[in-house]
């Protein structure tokens, strides 16, 4: 593997010059350990208490892990799979691998064996550092087919007592080994650390593409350090930021926020106690810098609304009144319209009664800047959080760009754009309407995949695959995935994701898939949001047993039909898209699931696969049937598969607004 010669040309701009004492992450951590020795680098909630580790402990722990790996025969260039929830030990393992000139390869912790096998085998990982027994079991299951994998190291010893497989050790044992190695090879670590250089590969992030096998995007220390620093300066980040590290470590976003930027800026990251406690931990930490994809913002909003619906009537009325006010003000503010005196006077009262307490309760009282990215966010959701006084902004980024491409600056936030390019990023729109960009963060290519690299990189420019344009003020606007924009049979333009996002803005719709390419009209598969629709049903005394049962209730179909009609009404306002209204829909009998390969782990719809898997449903949508039988294969969490049979109802949607009852 390693970087191909042709890829060297990618590195461009002069601003990415780094001095050789500070040109890799381990060197920067060493520097932090001296400069900020007693400052907290990382906290983890464990046994009910936030346990803190300083920058000097960070460096020392990572050094011991590195020495332990070295004792096991770790060589420069070796790849280390990293699997688990956000844990200090795993971040240290990332640094340990880099310090020895190796490359960490983080893998999504909820991957099933087959996915894990592909990445471990493709990256040729010799080592794996994982969180616990669950991940060990998966790796042992695939080890026979992964020729390179020799050592598996686990953090949590629980349940591991009976394991006698060779090549298996705990992190505690590894650190002990490291201490001994330190005595016998005192200069080894420092020498290896010094050999690291800016253009070494720092990480391989496997992107769960919506088509085909995952691709391993290789990012160098230079890519990440320069981009992390540029974005931090662009946004005025400080050393005293607090971040909650709750998004998967395998996702480049977490790597940049919780590792690269934390190290470059010297700020503190906080690891939640478990995936189930994230919202409670968020409240305790009250981060200053927060990142959440739209689905996180949606789920926070949903949980707030559910609690408000359960509150007493006067309270409910109060909250609704002030939330409407806040959103109205925010809408005018974003549209650069004047705010009336009346609104100005009421807002402080709202802060006192609703916005302040709510913000505090959610853990957003200390947020200086928060971001949403990855997908379009619903305007209502965006306005809700901004209305509360939380500085949520949109950003646009990609793994291949070390995340940051554009960010909305403070005071320049819009509903429909993703902001302006950050320092050293250039954007161009191709003749076909595709967004191209170039920056110091542009990656070093896909591991062992020159064809894909060639398709993505053109003379130093990255083809984003997104269709978009730059508006008058230099803001980037994203329409849809370029390859998904197509036409209906009659030539009307059809941008599926655009319509799906509008549908998903409804609290009752969790996922939507629109169909229409070369078809007479647009139709949609809907996944309802079980929590929201479930609560709606309970309030109406509609009994149900499971997702599948609730999804097929006639009342739920009525509810969703109203939502689809609302979307159609908004599409009708757009001259280009008015022809692409949803004519028929069905509610899927099961939730789209990454384990079934219907969506990616970052919840992007895999159209090709769905078209193939649900061909019967699509035929039924276009043949005028009003109900269809479907058989679906489901994959359980342990990798077993089963078959599910269900009856699915199909509904027509009237084009005009519904007749009032």
User: What residue ranges bind another protein (CB under 8 A)?
Assistant: 46-49, 158-159, 161-162, 273-274, 276-277, 280
| Min separation Cβ 172 and another protein, Å | 15
Measure the CA–CA gap between 151 and 129, rounded to whole angstroms. 8
| Min separation Cβ 161 and another protein, Å | 5
| Min separation Cβ 503 and another protein, Å | 31
Cross-strand pairs, 486: 494
| Min separation Cβ 545 and another protein, Å | 13
β-bridge pairing 369-372 and 289-291: parallel
648 vs 145, 515, 550, CA distance in Å?
A: 40, 17, 12
Q: Please tell me what DSSP assigns to residue 280.
A: H
- Planar angle of CA 488, 489, 492, nearest 5 degrees: 40
| Min separation Cβ 277 and another protein, Å | 5
| Min separation Cβ 263 and another protein, Å | 28
Measure the CA–CA gap between 441 and 200, rounded to whole angstroms. 14
| Min separation Cβ 273 and another protein, Å | 5
- Nearer of residues 449 and 535 to another protein, judged by Cβ: 535
| Min separation Cβ 513 and another protein, Å | 28
| Min separation Cβ 47 and another protein, Å | 4
Which two three-digit tokens encode residue 385?
Answer: 């959080």
Measure the CA–CA gap between 373 and 371, rounded to whole angstroms. 7
3-state secondary structure 304-370: HHHHHHCCCHHHHHHHHHHHHHHHHHHHHHHCCCCCCHHHHHHHHHHHHHHHHHHHHHHCCCCCCEE
Measure the CA–CA gap between 396 and 536, rounded to whole angstroms. 34
- Nearer of residues 270 and 523 to another protein, judged by Cβ: 270
| Min separation Cβ 48 and another protein, Å | 4
β-bridge pairing 627-635 and 641-652: antiparallel
- Nearer of residues 9 and 49 to another protein, judged by Cβ: 49
- Nearer of residues 160 and 646 to another protein, judged by Cβ: 160
- Nearer of residues 274 and 340 to another protein, judged by Cβ: 274
Question: 157-174 b/e with 16+ CB inside 10 Å = b?
Answer: eeeeeeeeeeebbebeeb
Measure the CA–CA gap between 653 and 568, rounded to whole angstroms. 9
Measure the CA–CA gap between 149 and 152, rounded to whole angstroms. 8
Contact 532, 475 (CB under 8 A): no
CA 338 to chain centre: 36
- Nearer of residues 46 and 309 to another protein, judged by Cβ: 46
- Nearer of residues 56 and 302 to another protein, judged by Cβ: 302
- Nearer of residues 346 and 530 to another protein, judged by Cβ: 530
48: left (phi over 0), alpha (psi -120 to 50) or beta: left
Closest by CA position to 293, among listed 554, 48, 600: 600
Closest by CA position to 404, among listed 442, 449, 377: 442
- Nearer of residues 37 and 275 to another protein, judged by Cβ: 275
Measure the CA–CA gap between 648 and 660, rounded to whole angstroms. 27
- Nearer of residues 209 and 548 to another protein, judged by Cβ: 548
| Min separation Cβ 98 and another protein, Å | 30
654 vs 226, 572, 582, 626, CA distance in Å?
A: 53, 13, 9, 15
- Planar angle of CA 374, 612, 596, nearest 5 degrees: 55
- Nearer of residues 49 and 352 to another protein, judged by Cβ: 49
Measure the CA–CA gap between 86 and 92, rounded to whole angstroms. 11
> What 3-state DSSP class applies to 61?
helix
Contact 152, 100 (CB under 8 A): no
- Nearer of residues 1 and 172 to another protein, judged by Cβ: 172
| Min separation Cβ 276 and another protein, Å | 4
274 vs 106, 113, 396, 577, CA distance in Å?
A: 18, 22, 28, 44
| Min separation Cβ 452 and another protein, Å | 39
Measure the CA–CA gap between 206 and 125, rounded to whole angstroms. 13
Which two three-digit tokens encode residue 39?
Answer: 């400052």
| Min separation Cβ 550 and another protein, Å | 18
Phi, psi of 480 (to 5 degrees): -175, 175
| Min separation Cβ 327 and another protein, Å | 31
Measure the CA–CA gap between 33 and 220, rounded to whole angstroms. 22
> What 3-state DSSP class applies to 83?
strand
- Nearer of residues 158 and 661 to another protein, judged by Cβ: 158
- Nearer of residues 283 and 368 to another protein, judged by Cβ: 283
Contact 521, 584 (CB under 8 A): yes
- Nearer of residues 11 and 284 to another protein, judged by Cβ: 284
- Nearer of residues 274 and 454 to another protein, judged by Cβ: 274
| Min separation Cβ 637 and another protein, Å | 9
| Min separation Cβ 537 and another protein, Å | 19
β-bridge pairing 627-635 and 49-54: unpaired
């Amino acid at each position: 593997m390693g970087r191909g010669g042709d890829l060297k040309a990618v590195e461009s701009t002069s601003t990415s010059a780094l001095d050789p004492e500070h040109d890799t992450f381990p060197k920067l951590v060493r520097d932090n350990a001296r400069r900020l020795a007693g400052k907290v680098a990382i906290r983890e909630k464990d046994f009910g208490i936030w346990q803190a580790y300083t920058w000097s402990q960070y460096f020392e722990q990572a050094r011991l892990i590195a020495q332990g790996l070295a004792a096991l025969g770790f060589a420069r260039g070796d790849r280390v799979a990293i699997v688990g929830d956000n844990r200090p030990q795993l971040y240290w393992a990332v640094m340990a691998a880099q310090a020895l000139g190796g490359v960490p390869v983080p893998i999504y912790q909820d991957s099933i064996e087959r996915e894990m096998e592909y990445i471990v085998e493709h990256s040729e990982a010799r080592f794996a550092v994982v969180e616990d027994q669950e991940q060990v079991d998966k790796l042992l299951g695939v080890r026979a087919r992964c020729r390179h994998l020799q050592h598996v190291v686990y953090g949590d010893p629980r349940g591991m007592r009976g394991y006698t497989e060779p090549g298996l050790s705990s992190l505690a044992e590894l650190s002990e080994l490291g201490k001994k190695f330190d005595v016998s090879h005192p200069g080894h670590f420092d020498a290896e650390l010094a050999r690291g250089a800016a253009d070494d590969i720092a990480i391989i992030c496997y992107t769960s593409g919506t088509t085909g096998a995952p691709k391993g995007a290789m990012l160098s220390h230079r890519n990440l350090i320069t981009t992390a620093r540029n974005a931090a300066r662009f946004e005025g980040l400080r050393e005293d930021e607090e971040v909650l590290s709750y998004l998967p470590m395998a996702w480049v976003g977490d790597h940049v926020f919780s590792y690269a930027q934390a190290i470059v800026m010297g700020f503190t990251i906080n690891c939640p106690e478990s995936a189930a406690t994230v919202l409670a931990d968020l409240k305790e930490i009250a981060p200053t810098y927060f990142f959440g994809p739209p689905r996180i913002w949606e789920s926070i909003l949903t949980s707030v609304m559910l609690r408000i619906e359960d509150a007493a009537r006067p309270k409910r009325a109060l909250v609704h009144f002030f939330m409407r006010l806040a959103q109205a003000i925010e809408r005018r503010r974003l549209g650069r319209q004047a705010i009336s005196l009346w609104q100005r006077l009421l807002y402080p009262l709202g802060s006192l009664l609703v916005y302040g307490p709510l913000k505090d309760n959610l853990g957003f009282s200390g947020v200086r800047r928060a971001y949403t990215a990855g997908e379009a966010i619903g305007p209502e959701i965006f306005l809700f959080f901004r209305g509360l006084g939380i500085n949520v902004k949109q950003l646009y980024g990609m793994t291949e760009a070390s995340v940051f491409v554009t960010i909305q600056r403070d005071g320049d936030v819009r509903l429909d754009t993703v902001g302006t390019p950050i320092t050293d990023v250039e954007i161009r729109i191709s003749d076909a309407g595709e967004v191209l960009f170039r920056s110091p963060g542009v990656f070093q290519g896909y591991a062992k995949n020159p064809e894909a690299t060639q398709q993505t990189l053109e003379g130093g420019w990255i083809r984003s695959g997104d269709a978009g344009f730059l508006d008058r003020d230099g803001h980037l606007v994203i329409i849809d995935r370029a390859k998904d924009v197509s036409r209906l049979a009659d030539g009307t333009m059809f941008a599926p994701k655009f319509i799906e996002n509008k549908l998903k803005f409804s609290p009752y719709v969790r996922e939507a898939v629109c169909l229409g390419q070369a078809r007479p009209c647009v139709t949609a598969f809907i996944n309802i949001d079980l929590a929201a629709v479930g609560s709606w049903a309970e309030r109406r005394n509609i009994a149900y047993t499971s997702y599948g049962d609730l999804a097929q209730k006639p009342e739920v179909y009525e509810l969703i039909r109203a939502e689809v009609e609302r979307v159609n009404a908004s599409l009708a306002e757009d001259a280009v898209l008015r022809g692409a209204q949803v004519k028929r829909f069905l509610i899927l009998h099961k939730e789209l699931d990454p384990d079934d390969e219907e969506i990616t782990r970052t919840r992007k719809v895999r159209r090709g696969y769905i078209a193939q898997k649900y061909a019967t449903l699509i035929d039924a949508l276009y043949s005028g049937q009003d109900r269809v039988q479907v058989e679906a294969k489901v994959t359980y969490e342990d990798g077993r598969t089963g078959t599910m049979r269900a009856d699915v109802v199909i509904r027509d949607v009237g084009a005009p607004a519904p007749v009032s009852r």
